[in-house]
Amino acid sequence: MDFQYILLLKHEILLTLAALIILFVELFLPQNKKRNVINISLIIFAIVAFAGFIPTAQGNLFGGSFQGSRLTDVMKDILNLAVLIVFLQSTGYLKKSENADKMGEYFALIIFTLIGMDFMISAGDFITFFIGLETASIPVAGLAAYDRYKRKSAEAGVKLILLASISSGVLLFGLSMIYGATGSIYFADIAKNITASPLIILGFIFFVSGMGFKLSLVPFHLWTADVYEGSPMNITAYLSVVSKGAAAFIFTIVLFTVFKNITDLWELVMYALAVITITVGNLFALRQDNIKRFLAFSSIAQVGFVLLGIMGTGALGMTSVVYFMLVYVFTNLAAFGVAQAIYNQTGVETISGYKGLYKTNPKLSLVMMLALFSLAGIPPLAGFFGKFFLFTSAASHGYFILVVIAALNATISLYYYLLVVKAMFIDKNDKPIAFFKSSGLMRVSLFITALGIFVVGFASGIFEYIMSISSSIF
Amino acid sequence: MIQGISIYHFLIVSSLMFFIGIAGFIIRQNLITILLSIELILNSVAINFLVFNRYLYPDQLQGHFFSLFIIGVAAAEASVAIALIINIYRRIHGINTDDVNEMKH
C-alpha cells in the first residue's frame, strides 16, 4: 500500500487530530483561561475544514471497505462547512456560565460524530457503514442532553438514544437478511448478486425503516420534534443540518450502488414515502408556535423533497441531492442562527414572540426572511434552484404526478413560512423584543449564510462541478 | 453446523427474539426494560449473522465479524443510554415513560 493512499483518509485523520488536540488543550489550560478553548477550537476546526478542500488521490482502502472519491470529498467538505457555521453560532451558548466546565467536550463530541459521518459516507461495506452510523448517532444523544439540569434536555437525550438504538437494530435486522441472501457485506458484491427475492425485499424494507428513523421520514418521524425542542438550539441546528445531511448522502449512495438492480422496487417505496413525508411535514408545521418545533417539521418536509431527487437515480439524482444539501446547509443554518441569536439574548423561542421584530432588529429580521423564503423556494434565492433540480431529477424519470404534488406542497409551505415573516414585519406588538447586538462571531456566521443563500444559487459552476464528478461515478 | 438442527430453527428463534424486542419496546413502561428490549433486538441480529454465515457460507468470516462489531456497539449504546436514564432519574426521580412526556405534539 502506497503512502499516498493513506491520504484518502485525510478528512478523518485531520478531524481525529483536531478532536484530540482540543481535549488536551482544555485539560492543560489553567482554570482562569478555560474560555480560550472556544477560540482555539474554532481556529483548529477552521484549518481542518479548509485543509479538506485540498485535492488528493482517489481509490479504495482496506480491500474496498473504504472508498474515497471526489464525490465523497465534496460531501465531507459540505459537512465540514456546516459544522464550522454551527461552531461559530454556538459561542454565545457556550459562554453562558452553566457551560463553563464543559466547553471542550462540546467541540470534541461534535467532531467525533463528524468522523463517524465521514466514515459512513466513504463506506464500501456494511461494517464500516454501521460503525460510522453508530459513531455518528451515539454521541449526539449526549449532546442533546447537554443542558443536563434542564428536564426537557434530559428527556430529549433519552428519547434520542432509545430511538436511535432501536432504529439501528431494525436496520441491522434488514442487513442480516441481505447478507443471508447474497453472501457478502461488500457493496460491490451485493450489487452483483441482488435480485428481487422475498428475503431481499424483506431485508430492504427493514433497511429503509431503519434509515427512515435517521432521516425522519414520515412514518418514523415522531422523535424529531421532541428531540429538536428539548435539545439546546445549536445542537438542534446540528441535528437538522449535519446529521440529516450525512444520512441523506449515505442513503442515496447505498440506494444507487447496492440496490441498483432492484430500482423498480425501491422507487415505488420512495414514491409513497416522499408523498406522505412532504404532506405530513407541512401539515404539522402549520400548527406550531415554538420555532424549534416549527423548523423540525419544516426540515421533515425538506427531506421529503430530497426523496424526489433520489427518485431520479443516476448522476442527475446524485447531483441534485448533494446540491440541495449544500443549499440547505446555508438556508437552515441562517434560520437557526437568527433563532439562536434571539434566544441567547432574550430567551424567546416562539413565533408569536417575534412580533414586531423588524422595528427593533431589522437586520436579523431580514436574514430570517431570506432564510425562510429560500426554504420555501422563492426564485432568486438558492432554495429555488435546489428544489428546481430535485424536481427536474424526478421529472426526468417521468414522475410528473409526484412533481405536481410536491409543487402544491411547496405552495402550502410558503403559507407557514410567511406566517413567521408576517409576525416579524407586519404584526403589531406593544412590547417587541428590544434592540440588541449579537456577538461578533454570530454576525460573521449570519453573513456567511446570507451570502451563501445568494451565491450558491447563481454560481452555476458549483452544480456543474458536482455534476461532472458524479457522472464519472454513476 | 450442528447435526439435527436446521437453519430454520435458529431463524425462528432469532425472529421471535426480534419481535419480542419490538413488542417490549412499545409495551413496556420502564426505560430500563425498554433498553433490555433493544438489547434483545441487537442479539437477535447477531444470531442471524452467525447462523447465515455458518450454514450458508461456511468458508467466510464476514458474518462472524459483523456480529462481533454488533456486540461492541451494543455495549457502547447501553452505557450511554444508562447514563442518560440515570440523569433523568436524578432530575425527576422516576424512569417510567409517563414521567418523560413533557413534550408532546
Averaged pLDDT of chain A = 89
Q: What is the pLDDT of residues A196-221, one digit of tens each?
A: 889 999 999 999 999 999 899 988 88
B57, closest residue in chain A (CA to CA): A183
Contact B84 A152 (CB under 8 A): no
Nearest CA in chain B to A151: B91
Phi (first) and psi of residue A67, to 5 degrees: -115, 125
Average pLDDT on A26-37 reads: 84
Nearest to A138 among B66, B77, B102 (CB): B77
- End-to-end CA separation in angstroms for chain A: 26
> What is the torsional sign of CA A302, A308, A311, A313?
negative
- Could A166 and B65 be called an inter-chain contact, meaning their C-beta atoms sit closer than 8 Å? no
CATH number of the CATH domain containing B63: 1.10.287.3510
In a domain, B104, yes or no: no
Query: Does the pLDDT of residue B105 top 60, yes or no?
Result: no
Nearest chain A residue to B17, by CA: A173
Euclidean distance between CA atoms A210 and A188, whole angstroms: 21
Q: Find the domain containing B49 and state its range.
A: 7-99
Residues in chain B, how many?
105
What distance lies between CA A44 and its chain's CA centroid? Answer: 22
- B17 contact A CB<8A: no
Nearest residue on chain A to B19, judged by CA atoms?
Answer: A170
pLDDT attached to residue B104: 65
Each residue's pLDDT tens digit, A365-394: 999 999 999 998 888 888 899 999 999 999
Percent of chain A clearing pLDDT 70 (strictly above): 100
Angle in degrees, CA A80, A149, A97, rounded to 5:
70
- With H, G, I as helix, E, B as strand and everything else as coil, classify residue A314: helix
Dihedral Cα A305, A325, A284, A350, nearest 10 deg: -160
Q: pLDDT digit string (tens) for B40-95?
A: 999 999 999 999 999 998 888 999 999 999 999 999 999 999 999 999 898 888 88
User: How many domains does chain B contain in total?
Assistant: 1
Contact across the interface for B80 and A138, Cβ inside 8 Å: yes
C-beta separation of A406 from A377 below 8 A = no
Is B105 domain-assigned?
A: no
Chain B closest-CA separation from residue A173 CA (Å)? 5
Rounded CA gap, A160 and A138, in Å?
Answer: 9
Q: Is B57 on the interface with A (CB under 8 A)?
A: yes
SS3 A163: helix
B43/chain A closest Cα distance in angstroms: 9
pLDDT at B24: 93
- Helices marked H in A183-286: 187-193, 198-215, 222-230, 233-238, 244-257, 263-286
The C-alpha angle A244, A136, A277, rounded to 5 degrees, equals 25
Is the residue at B68 inside a domain?
yes
CB contact at 8 A, A407 and A301: no
Specify the DSSP element, H or E, that contains A297.
helix A291-311
Q: Distance (Å) from the C-alpha of residue B8 to the closest C-alpha of chain A?
A: 13
Helix (H) or strand (E) holding B91: helix B62-92
Map out the domains of chain A as residue ranges: 3-471
pLDDT band at A1 (very low <50, low <70, confident <90, very high): low
- What is the reported pLDDT for A44? 92
Torsion of CA A443, A447, A453, A455, to 10 degrees: -170
AA identity, residue B69: F
CA of A204 vs chain B CAs: smallest distance (Å): 15
∠ CA(A48), CA(A144), CA(A10), 5° rounding?
20
Which one, of A270, A237, A236, lies nearest residue A251 by Cα? A270
The closest alpha carbon to A124, from A66, A82, A192, A195, belongs to A66
In a domain, B1, yes or no: no
pLDDT in tens, A266-316: 888 899 999 999 999 999 888 888 899 999 999 999 999 999 999 888 888
Is B103 within 8 Å of chain A by CB? Answer: yes
Residues A292/A339, Cβ–Cβ less than 8 Å: yes
First to last CA, chain B: 51
A193 pLDDT above the threshold of 90: no
Closest chain B residue to the Cα of A293, Cα to Cα: B105
Q: What is the pLDDT of residue A333?
A: 93
What are the pLDDT digits (tens) for A35-94? Answer: 888 888 999 999 999 988 888 778 788 888 888 888 888 999 999 999 999 999 988 888
Grid coordinates belonging to A292? 424549534
SS3 state at A66: strand
Of A314, A148, A317, A306, give the one whose Cα is nearest residue A240: A306
